[in-house]
Each structure stands twice: as C-alpha cells, then as structure tokens.
Structure 1
Amino acid sequence: MKIRIGVVMDPINSINIKKDSTFSILLESQKRNYTIYYMEIKDLYIYLNKAYSNTKIINIQKDKKKWFKIIKKKTILLSKLDIIFMRKDPPVNMEFIYSTYILEKAEKNGTIVVNKPSSLRNFNEKIFSIKFKKFIPETLITSKKKIIKNFIKKNKDIIIKPLNGMGGHSIFRIKKKDKNFSVIVETMTKKETKYCIVQKYVKEILNGDKRIIIINGIPIKWCVYRIPKKGENRGNIASGGKVKLKKINKKDLKISKRIGKFLIKKGIIIAGIDIIGNKLIEINITSPTCIREIENFYKVSISEMLLNCLEKKILKKNIK
C-alpha cells in the first residue's frame, strides 16, 4: 500500500538537518517510498465543514546544501492522508490551537494525527508534568509576585520560566537574597498579567538534563544528557549545552514507563520527557527533539520504530 504522509512544520528551508528530528522522520518516510506532503500552519483551512491544505509534495535527501525538492504543489482534503505529523515548534499560540481544530476534522475522518490534536490543546508541556506529582520538584504556577516570594522563602533557590517557551529561552535562576528578584518576576509575569512556572532548583542539572524519547508508550533505552556550559543553568542544546548519550537508569525507566501508560491513553504517540537528577521537569509533545542525536550515535532508528508503529495502526484500521 502506498502511504501518504503529511507534515505540518516550521519552514523546511530553515531547519538544521544535523539536529532536526522531523527531518529524521521524513528521511525514513522517503526510504519507505511514502508520498510526503509538506505544510505550514498557514496552509491549513476549512471549507464547507471539511479540512483542506495547500501542500507541496517533496522529496528528501541527506544533503546539507539541498535537503528537499518540491515535486509539485497540490491542494488536498486532509482526510485523504494516512498520517499527519503535527511538528510545529512552540510557542503554542492561538494559531497553533486553531490548527489543531482543523487537524481534528481529518482525524475524525480516519487520518492518524501525531500527536492527537485534542491532547496538543489540553496538555501544556510545562504544566503536563504536575499530573505526576510524586516525580516532580516542588512546583508553582502563578502570575503573582507575593506568591513567588513566599515560594522562594521556603525553597531558597528556584527556577522561573514561561509556560510557552522552548530551547531554554527566558529561564532564570533566582536565589533567596537575589537583588534582581523583583525585576525578574515583574519581567517574566509582565507585571502580574502572565502565568509562569516556578520550581525548586534541582542541583543535579550540573550533571545534565536528560531527554528520554517515548514511542507508543515505550521509552527508548538510550537518552541524551544535555550538560550546561560553564556558568549556565540551562542544559538545552539551543542554549549551548553539551551532549552525551547514555542508557537510561532504573529510576528513569520507572518514571518513563509510568508516563508512557498515560500517553497511550491520550493518543500521544511520540513524546520527549526531561528529567534532572530523578525529578521530572517537562513532558514535550509538540515537536520532541533529540531523535537525530541518538540515531547519529547508536545503531538504532527511532524514526523506524515510530513509522513501524504507525503502519501497524494503519493496517489495523484498514482491517476493520
């Protein structure tokens, strides 16, 4: 069966193919001779209660100078696609939310959407982790300066970050007697009008922020340690963190399996969870990264595992 796969992502001409996880998925799709339909959020639309998109059928190649080629442009009914990957990077703004309603129409007509549109709306990546309270550091979500002040009095050393950021942007560490406390909080909360997430500082960040990939509820046994450069509190690769790869330990495996069971129930096929020490920090479901880092180091294809899983779902759907 010829599989038609759609991908909604940021502009493909701007990606870094050495690190881009979506590119890895597209390479595997190309290897399987799928027809690949590339889209951006602005291309999606609804007409007469049906979901459509202006697409570009593309070919992919592992060439750092020219990694894609447009074969032709085509407007399609989204329900004609077998699989659609929603891989638009945060922020999860209103345009992102609107696009999930469009994708949901395709899903209701039989297309497999990864990840499930309603779950992309319902589970903010920063807030998601509080569902697993026994695994997380002490956490606060608020826009109020006084509440944050009481939190730092208790915990002495905290991290504050926005709810819709990525790549380590706008993450601040504040200690109890920091003279910049007021200005940081006022800036982050836009003078108490924007929510932020505040967590007790986990000192194990110096050893690395671990990214664990979960496919169809099952954690990949290798994880990426993102180690902060000297003088930094952020391990994110986008913020200059160094990368090491290791097998996940027993504690991380326990956390991952517990989260994996929940993800399956919510139609989340691929996720990336972040753990510092033995504390769960985030559950990334919009466009989880670090697939390329693992695939480049070990003789394992996460993209192959992912597409094998989806092909089984297509086969099961067609048998019904």
Structure 2
Amino acid sequence: MKIAFLADPLANFKIYKDSTYAMMAEAAKRGHEVYAFQQRHMALENGIVRAWVSRITMTGGGQEDWYEAAPSEDVALGEFDVILERKDPPFDMEYVYGTYLLQLAEKQGVKVLNSPQAIRDHNEKLSIAQFSQFTSPTIVTSDETRLRAFHAEHGDVIFKPLDGMGGTGIFRVKADALNLGSIIETLSQNGRQTIMAQRYIPEIVKGDKRILVIGGKPVPFSLARIPQGSEVRGNLAAGGIGVAQPLTERDREIAEAIGPVLAERGLLLVGLDVIGDYLTEVNVTSPTCFQEITQQTGFQVAAMFIDAVEQAA
C-alpha cells in the first residue's frame, strides 16, 4: 500500500518515543510505501485536494539520520491508499480546515484514518459526556456562578481548558478555594471561554492511565503516567513518569464498551485517559504511548495498529 502520514516535521521527531515513527517503521518493514507531508503543504486546486509529498525511506539510523526524504512532489491525495492523520494539536481553525480538505480527499479515493469528520465530532474533553456512566462529576460552562457552585459542592476540583494538550492549563483547587476566582477568570477569559471542571480523583497519584484502543479493541496494557513530586498532572509532557501495566477489570470494561462505538464512527485509534475507575478524556487527534508500552512489556503496539490499517484499507 501507499501510506501517507500527515504529520508535524519529521526532523522534530524523538524517535525513541514517537508513536508516528513506530507506525512508519512497522509499515516500511512490511513493504508498504511510506510518504509524509505537513498540513501546510495541502491545497485544493480545481476541485482536487493535493499536497507536496515526500517518499520516505527508513534508514535504521539514529536520531539525526533515521530517514531519507525524496524530493517533494505535487500529488493528488486520492492517489494514496491510506492517509494517517497524525498532526498534533492545537486543535484550532487551521486544524479544522485541514480536516475539511482531508474529507474532500476521501471522496476522491483515499482512506483517511482517523476519519476527519469523526475527529471534528469528538472534542477530546467533551466526548466523555457521551459515556457519562464512566465519568466523575463534570461540568462544562463559561458561567462563573455555575463553576463556583460546582466547586462548593465537590470541594476538590480540577479546572482545565477544552483545547489544551500535554497537561497545559490544568489547575487543582482544594476546599480552601485558594485562587478560585483568579483561575476561573483566567481559564474562562472572564466568561468568554467555555471550560471544564471535574471532581478531583485521588487515584491520580497512581497514574493517569492511557489506554490505547485500536480498531475497537484495547491494547492489553495501559501506560500509567504518574505525577512527580507535588505535581497534580501525570502527563509525560509535564514531567510524569510512564509505567506500563496490564489493564484492570475496570479499564477493560470501559475500553470494551467505548472502543467499538468509536471504531464504528471512523476512529481507528483512540487513547482513553482513565484515572482510577473514571474516564477523563478521549484522545482522537494523534494518540501516543506506543513505544513506552512496547519497550516495557514487549507487546508490539505498532504491529497491532498496522494490522488494523491494512484491514481498514
């Protein structure tokens, strides 16, 4: 197959942990043709979605020379078998415009994974509302009065933006309500921006578990991202330490209930974030943790993923 990766610049990949790198390496090992392009390289011309795309050869080298890129060519995206959408957030309007172009490309013959429409339809924070039986108490609003009342009811609350990634913009406010007003004003931009608040889940000290679901089926290990020191965030980008561990009975219950529903909607790969027994996020843009799980357990996550891509195509 001809597989094109819509990704951020390859030169910025950290190959010891990058999940897109693991996908590329597995695809190349199986003899698939691997290509790469960035969102800014796309264009709609005369009704055809095109992009400047480079054929990628995996060299097996280290961080500085892991790939060779052929000169870019202006290609209609419909000529590929599969496009894997692996652009990182921010999920801003540029990202949305990119999904519109990819959706047009689908109509011109290419399979896009994850589905561009499904990505738009599943905000990574708000999507948990569709599975409220698995969530802790949550409110989404820009109304300061409602947010204050939610805190007063639950006493220990996490506040976060709806468009953040890597743990950015997350605040914990305990029962003393220290800085509550300032945090609400800052995150909500004085009531102009909708935010989320969730009751604090004490099990965060044991890790914010990333459960990967591929083709509706859970990877049998999660990566528990454990906060360090006094930090409340387990995100690896915020200094958390990743520890792979077998799925618990509750983890599997959540993944097996949600995974097939999301797969049916065109989400081949999702990353469910679970703290304790509660679902906190549904990641659909560019879920990670492939390599950490494989390195610690031996389970070949990238192989499971490319299996699913081959079946979906």
Name segments (4+ residues, structure 1) moved above 3 Å: none
Aligned residue pairs, count: 312
- 1:281 maps to what in 2? 280
Q: Secondary structure at the match of 2:16?
A: coil
- 1:39 maps to what in 2? 37
Alpha-carbon distance in structure 2 between the residues aligned to 1:62 and 1:223: 29
TM-score, normalization: structure 1? 0.95
Alpha-carbon distance in structure 2 between the residues aligned to 1:275 and 1:62: 35
C-alpha displacement at 1:175, in angstroms? 1.6
Task: Describe how 1:183-194 pairs up with structure 2 within 5 A.
Answer: 183-194=182-193
Alpha-carbon distance in structure 2 between the residues aligned to 1:68 and 1:161: 38
1:219-261 CA-to-partner distances (Å, cap 9, x unmatched) read: 0101111100010100011111112111001111010000112
Task: Describe how 1:22-33 pairs up with structure 2 within 5 A.
Answer: 22-33=20-31
- 1:293 maps to what in 2? 292
Q: Unpaired runs of 5+ in structure 2?
A: none
Alpha-carbon distance in structure 1 between the residues aligned to 2:292 and 2:76: 35
- 2:56 maps to what in 1? 58
The more displaced of 281-290 and 23-32 is: 23-32
* Residues 244 and 297 in structure 2, CA contact (< 8 A), matched pair in contact too: no
Q: Secondary structure at the match of 2:198?
A: strand
Alpha-carbon distance in structure 2 between the residues aligned to 1:84 and 1:180: 45
Percent identical among aligned pairs is 34
Alpha-carbon distance in structure 1 between the residues aligned to 2:35 and 2:13: 17
- 1:71 maps to what in 2? 70
Q: Unpaired runs of 5+ in structure 1?
A: 315-320
* Residues 58 and 72 in structure 1, CA contact (< 8 A), matched pair in contact too: no
- 2:101 maps to what in 1? 102
C-alpha displacement at 1:300, in angstroms? 2.1
C-alpha displacement at 1:148, in angstroms? 0.5
- Coordinate RMSD, CA, aligned: 1.1
C-alpha displacement at 1:113, in angstroms? 0.7
Q: Secondary structure at the match of 1:90?
A: coil
Q: Secondary structure at the match of 1:287?
A: coil
Task: Describe how 1:55-204 pairs up with structure 2 within 5 A.
Answer: 55-60=53-58, 61-204=60-203
C-alpha displacement at 1:209, in angstroms? 0.7
- 1:317 maps to what in 2? none
* Residues 90 and 286 in structure 1, CA contact (< 8 A), matched pair in contact too: yes
- 1:318 maps to what in 2? none
- 2:250 maps to what in 1? 251
* Residues 205 and 228 in structure 1, CA contact (< 8 A), matched pair in contact too: yes
TM-score, normalization: structure 2? 0.97
Alpha-carbon distance in structure 2 between the residues aligned to 1:71 and 1:54: 11
Q: Secondary structure at the match of 1:193?
A: coil
Alpha-carbon distance in structure 2 between the residues aligned to 1:79 and 1:9: 18
